[in-house]
Amino acid sequence: MSVDTVIEVKNLSFRYAGERKQALKDLSFTVGRGEFLCIIGPNGAGKSSLCNALVGLIPSYFSGAKKGGVSVLGQDTEGTSVANLASKIGLVFQNPFNQISYTTSTVEEELAYGLCNIGAPRDEMRRRVKEIAETIRVGGLLRKNPLELSGGQIQRVAIGSTLIMRPSILVLDECTTQLDPLGSEEVFDIVKRLNKDGITVVMVDHDMERVARCADRVLVMNDGQLLAIDTPRAIFNGIFQSHGVDMPEYARFGAAMSGAGMYGGPALLTEREAINAGKAAIAV
Amino acid sequence: MSKQNKIKTKKTSSYIPLDSPIDRMHPMVKIYGVLCLGIGCAAFPFLWLSYAVVAFLFCVAWRAKLLGRFSKFIIAFAVPITCMLLIIQGLYSPKNVTVLADFGFARLGLEGVVYAFKTVGTLLVFLGGFYLMTTTTYPGKLVTAMQDAGLNSKAGYLVLASLNVVPQIQRRIAVIQEAQTARGVEVEGTMSTRFKAFLPIIGPTVMSSLVDVQERGMTLETRGFGVKDVRPTSFVALYLTPGEKAAKKVLVAFLIVCVLFAVFWALRPVLGLGV
Amino acid sequence: MRIEIRDLRHTYPTGEEALKGVSFTIEGVTPVAVVGQNGSGKTTLVKHFNRILSPTSGAVLIDGVETTKQSTAKWSKRVGYVFQNPDDQLFLNSVRKEFEFGPERVGVPAADIQKRLPEIAELCGLGDKLDSHTFDLTATQKKFCAIGSVMMMDPDVIIFDEPTCGQDVEGSRRLSEIIGHLEKRGKLCVTISHDMKFVAANFPRVVALCHGRVLIDGDSREVFAKPELLKKSFVSPPPISRVSLGMGFEKPAFSVDELVETMKARRRKMA
Amino acid sequence: MGKNKKSFIQGIKDQFSVKAIVLIPIAVGINLVGGMLASNLKLPIFLDMIGTIVSAALAGPWVAALVGLLTNIFLALVSNPVYLPYSVVSVGVALVVGFMMRAGLFKKIWGVVIIWLASTVVSAALAGSVTYFVFGGATGATGSSLLTVTLIAATQEILGSIFASSMIENLIDRAIAFAIAYVILKYIPKRLRSQYSLDGTDDFAEDPDGSPA
């Protein structure tokens, strides 16, 4: 893990206007540069609210009572406009159809939309669109209408139009939930590669096998609270099962083998690890 | 909204992509065209000018490869309204003095007939021009041109998003209709059965659309929509050719001449130039 | 219960051929899962079961009756369909009203509706939420509200489209419970799913579609024992099955416990 | 609205938050698909102002007025430019509905009846004016044109006939539109509505358990 902190959340609490329940309860944690952090927890745990707070939509877009604060790259999100923050931290959410601007007729225009709004010169736009199109692998789709793309393709365009603002942190709120396995894989591949290239990733995900495989650290939430934040091996050792948090099948397998006295190592996180541990157990 | 009809097709814009000089023309010239020709004809006191401009519009339609559609549109509009106005104004206008024909139950008056043809002529110029502009201009290009000319970017968003959001809501309503019939909502049968189907289908459409509003607003916020003190730029570049610049000047000149003539004509008695 | 699909073909008005001759029969009440990548024709197929779609050629027969014989609304008494997105179904201002809506439409007597209501609410985990606004529910609860509102119509067949999409552990567990309950009550459950963990745990029969044709149809253990064939439809066996196959076992395991038991047996044999 | 008095223009500007701006195209879409659904179900009415009413209730009269304007622009684009001048009618009706809702009339059934009657009269007056002053008496594009001509022939009175035919056309349609919008608005939960209110913070100051645990 990096020593360099890019996000610092300090005693963050939030309650939406008109609601009684606290959506976020006294959260504190930091995210390091280049880290891959996964947020897990049952539906209604406050994962989306946390994402909205990270990018500054809470409190500027959602009215409510906020305590504590979030700072991104040293800047307090409160008092900074969301548009300004977009060049530091980008958000991609679940429904791809809600992430296109509905004002453009081609993918390239869609990618450039954010730049148009901040008044970027045209040459700069063209250069960045070309660069981003390569990153998100939509080179062949640039002239297509975004509304005619498949879910996975639109989701990649959504990531692209976020990346075009050159954020160094990407927040993904269940961005593959509504996609089929193939589309989901396409999107996830890109996220993984971006992380390798140095972008910090904060991702909400329900696919525990994937979380176990990819996360540097896992943040567990329930009922608006932060239960734990640690490495996947530490999180998936069975402690949090009672909090509505699923375990990856491999970790569950490891735990069951330990119970039967066939395995004594750390939590299993990948298919490879599980197969090897299993083979070792029956080779005895 | 009393005149609103149902939309039969799934078309969401009247733009017909055809490669023609009119299609390639800068949208601003077309906007100038509709406004200058329309207002000029409306102001001009004689009715021949409108019909001359309509003839010119037919030439434009031919260049735009839209002669067939344009003729159809003009006839479909002109014939019924001319008939109706001849009855309403020709027979019943209080201004009627000169009687052209006497049908017994009513008299056809010259003033009313002239008024009817003047109205139809002006409307044909306006609506015909508008029709040609929208069928030959891609909506995105039109809005870009208007934004270049100083239109607020929020207004541009509203026009384009309205055009683009409709097909998506249409798809959604189709799914909702399926979902509700699967819950026992009958969409065929007696009038009261069909009436009862309206709410279960429009209800989820409205509700889910309102939920979408939230996320779409977030998207726009994060993408710098409506940032203060910044002049938005556009991805697609539009330039006026020298010919188009000249065309704009000619159109404005046409408008000025028409208006000046109209003022002159109206002031004739005052100026002592009576006929 | 018998659903017979006879050389079913469906071509959309756009010219897209979604089903290119599908034939199979579902008999009894054993839950069936339909799997395959997007565009394989899963949804098009099941939408024929209650005549949301009509065959371009071929036929679907429910207990010997062609589906085209009556409207979807009429079929809703016998064939229930839960759509993927609950927002497409829900619009009333309480869970109770949503539950009563369907059966009222098809003329179920009020007394019967009230009798069914508490049991189904309990099954769906909405027992204490009956008077909540559907908007105040979490994504999981909304989904179960939609499921419950279809179960309230007491159909003989229930079709689920991607029921685990966006669900958490709790939701998936409750769903398994409902599927078990339906089978016990003699109802057939047909599910479209991408979630192979869920399919393996709940569906003894799996039909995999690929490009509008049946790729494999059979016992789930046999189907998941052929990862190479399944790849054609971008389906991969659930993680634990992959582990057991990777360890060299012939039959794919469907649960962790099962695999551990098999391993114990192997160790005993070797010892 | 609000304790401190704002200027009229500022008041209008405040109604156009990003949320309201995103709502507008969607409300336009609802207007249009409402009309389409009515025709698909073969109902003899238009029902194409549900989006306008909902947006008036959520985001105020000026947002609703824009919804009305854009709905007509859209119709002019896709179906017939004749709709363009009638934008005046949509805007006028939206303002009447919006301001009467602001005054709290939509909460009671009798209030809804008043809004219905007022909006019908306003729309008939405006539509009649457009028909008379722009089109000289009839557009020839709608069924009411024939009605107008018949009335003129019977009464010899041009303006009155145009107004009367417009009233007849609108009265029933608006009644059903308002009834449906009334039900839908009842179903929209407060949580969603409070996202639009200009004084959303006031809303929750009343809440008892204010501080985080």
Those residues whose C-beta lies under 8 Å from the C-beta of residue C110, and which sit 6 or more positions away, are none
We report the CATH number of the domain holding residue A45 as: 3.40.50.300
CB contact under 8 A, A83 and B219: no
Distance spanning both ends of chain B, measured CA to CA? 45
What is residue A176's DSSP assignment? T
φ and ψ of D37, to 5 deg: -60, -45
Q: Does residue C72 have a pLDDT over 90?
A: yes
Q: Give pLDDT, residue A241.
A: 65
Q: How big is chain D by its Cα radius of gyration, in Å?
A: 19
Question: Which partners does chain C have (≥3 C-beta pairs < 8 Å)?
Answer: A, B, D
* Separation CA D94–CA D61 (nearest Å): 6
Q: Cβ contacts (< 8 Å) between C267 and chain A: which residues?
A: 262, 281-282, 284
Q: Which pLDDT value is given to residue C128? A: 93
Interface membership of D18 toward A (CB under 8 Å):
yes
Helix axes B48-63, B67-85, angle to 10 degrees: 160
- Note whether D166 and D131 are within 8 A (CB): yes
> Is D14-195 a CATH 3.40.50.300 domain?
no
Domain spans in chain D, listed from the N-terminal domain onward: 14-195
Q: What three-state secondary structure class fits B182? A: coil
Q: Do B3 and D48 touch (CB under 8 A)?
A: no
Q: How far apart (Å, rounded) are the C-alpha atoms in residues B4 and D75?
A: 8
Which positions in chain D touch A15 (Cβ < 8 Å)? Answer: 204, 212
- Segment B212-227 shows an average pLDDT of 86
Alpha carbons C214 and C207: distance in angstroms, whole number: 7
Give the pair of three-digit tokens for residue A139: 């080179």
Helix (H) or strand (E) holding C8: strand C2-11
Amino acid sitting at position B201 = I
DSSP letter at B64 equals T
**What are residue A91's phi and psi, to 5 degrees?**
-125, 135
What average pLDDT does this structure show over A9-22? 90
> How far is residue B88 CA from its own chain's centroid?
25
A202-251: pLDDT as tens digits: 999 988 999 999 999 999 999 999 999 999 998 988 666 666 677 899 99
Count of Cβ atoms closer than 10 Å to residue D99 Cβ: 17
**What is d(CA A112, CA A120) in angstroms, rounded to the nearest whole number?**
9
Contacts of B144 (CB under 8 A, 6+ apart): B27, B156, B234, B236, B238
CA–CA distance, D176 with D167 (Å, rounded to integer): 15
A109 touches chain C (CB under 8 A): no
pLDDT-derived band at D142 (thresholds 50, 70, 90) equals low
pLDDT for A139-195, tens place per residue?
Answer: 889 988 888 888 888 899 999 999 999 999 999 999 888 888 888 888 899 999 999
Q: Which of C153, C96, C102, C90 is nearest to C130 (CA)?
A: C96
* B166 Cβ under 8 Å from any chain A Cβ: no
pLDDT at B4 over 70: no
Closest by Cβ to B176, choosing from C73, C77, C88: C88
Residues of chain D with Cβ-Cβ distance to A67 below 8 Å are: 211-212
Domain of A193, in residue numbers:
5-103+144-231
Measured in degrees and rounded to the nearest 5, phi and psi for residue A271 equal: -60, -45
Contact C52 B181 (CB under 8 A): yes
> Is B11 a residue whose pLDDT tops 70?
no
Per-residue confidence (pLDDT) for residue D185, from 0 to 100: 86
3-class secondary structure for chain D?
Answer: CCCCCCCHHHHHHHHCCHHHHHHHHHHHHHHHHHHHHHHHCCCCCCCCCHHHHHHHHHHCHHHHHHHHHHHHHHHHHHCCHHHHHHHHHHHHHHHHHHHHHHCCHHHCHHHHHHHHHHHHHHHHHHHHHHHHHHCCCCCCCCHHHHHHHHHHHHHCCHHHHHHHHHHHHHHHHHHHHHHHHHHHHHHCCHHHHHCCCCCHHHHHHCCCCCCCC
Chains touching A, CB cut-off 8 Å, 3+ pairs: B, C, D
Chain D residues lying within 8 Å of B131, measured CB to CB? 81
Interface test with D, best of C93, C98, C138 (most D CBs within 10 A): C93
Cα torsion through B158, B162, B164, B169, rounded to 10: 140
Q: Per the omega criterion (within 30 degrees of 0), is the bond before D189 cis?
A: no
For B56-102, how does the pLDDT look when each residue is reduced to its tens digit (9 = 90+)?
A: 999 999 999 999 999 999 998 889 888 888 888 888 888 888 888 88
What does the alpha-carbon distance between residue A104 and residue A146 come to, in Å, rounded to a whole number?
Answer: 8
pLDDT tens per residue, range D9-62: 777 776 778 888 999 999 999 999 998 898 888 887 778 889 999 999 888 899
Q: Domain C1-78+155-236 maps to which CATH number in 3.40.50.300, 3.40.50.10140, 3.40.190.10, 3.40.630.10?
A: 3.40.50.300
Residue B253's CB is within 10 A of a number of other CB atoms, namely 12
- pLDDT(B250) > 70: yes
- Please tell me the distance from the alpha carbon of residue D173 to that of residue D175, in angstroms, as a whole number: 5
The identity of residue B183, as a single letter, is R
Residue D25 touches partner A, C-beta closer than 8 Å: yes
Confidence of residue D212 (pLDDT cuts 50, 70, 90): very low
Q: DSSP letter string over D100-123?
A: HHHTTGGGSHHHHHHHHHHHHHHH
State the pLDDT at residue A110.
92
* Calpha distance A227→B154 (Å, rounded): 43
- Taking only the tens place, the pLDDT of each residue in C222-252 is 999 999 999 888 888 999 999 999 999 988 9
Size of chain D in residues: 213
Structure tokens at B140: 């995105």
pLDDT at C183 over 90: yes
Q: At which residue do the structure tokens 């052929």 appear?
A: C226
Closest CA to B166 of C135, D35, A157: D35
C-alpha distances (whole Å) from A242 to each of A38, A211, A235, A239 are 19, 18, 13, 7
- Beta bridge mates, A7: A31, A72
Q: What is the dihedral of CA B253, B255, B260, B266, to 10 degrees?
A: 160
DSSP string, C60-84: EEETTEEGGGS-HHHHTTTEEEE-S
D143 vs A78 pLDDT, higher one = A78
Q: Which residues contact C207 (CB under 8 A, 6 or more apart)?
A: C24, C32, C33, C34, C35, C214, C216, C217
* Partner-chain residue, chosen from A82, A105, A121, that has the shortest CB–CB distance to B221: A82
User: CB contact, 8 Å: C92 with chain D?
Assistant: yes
Domain boundaries along the sequence of chain C: 1-78+155-236, 91-154, 238-271
| Contact between B217 and A108 using a beta-carbon 8 Å cutoff | no
Contact criterion met (CB below 8 Å) for C63 and C2: yes
| pLDDT tens, position by position, C91-119 | 888 999 999 999 999 899 999 999 999 99
Radius of gyration of chain C (CA): 20
> What is the signed CA dihedral for B196, B201, B204, B208, rounded to 10 degrees?
-150
Q: Do D26 and B14 touch (CB under 8 A)?
A: no
Length of chain C: 271
**Contact between chains at D189 and C92 (C-beta distance less than 8 A):** no
pLDDT beyond 50 at B2 = no
pLDDT tens digit sequence for D77-128: 777 788 888 899 999 999 999 999 888 888 888 888 999 999 999 988 898 8
Are the beta carbons of D212 and A18 separated by less than 8 Å? no
pLDDT tens column, A27-59 = 999 999 999 999 999 888 999 999 999 999 988
Q: List chains touching B (3+ CB pairs under 8 A).
A: A, C, D
Q: Tell me the C-alpha to C-alpha distance, in Å, between residue B185 and each of A14, B170, B269, C71.
A: 41, 19, 71, 10
Of the listed ranges A138-142, B206-210, D3-7, D152-156, the one predicted with least confidence: D3-7
CB contact under 8 A, D210 and A65: yes
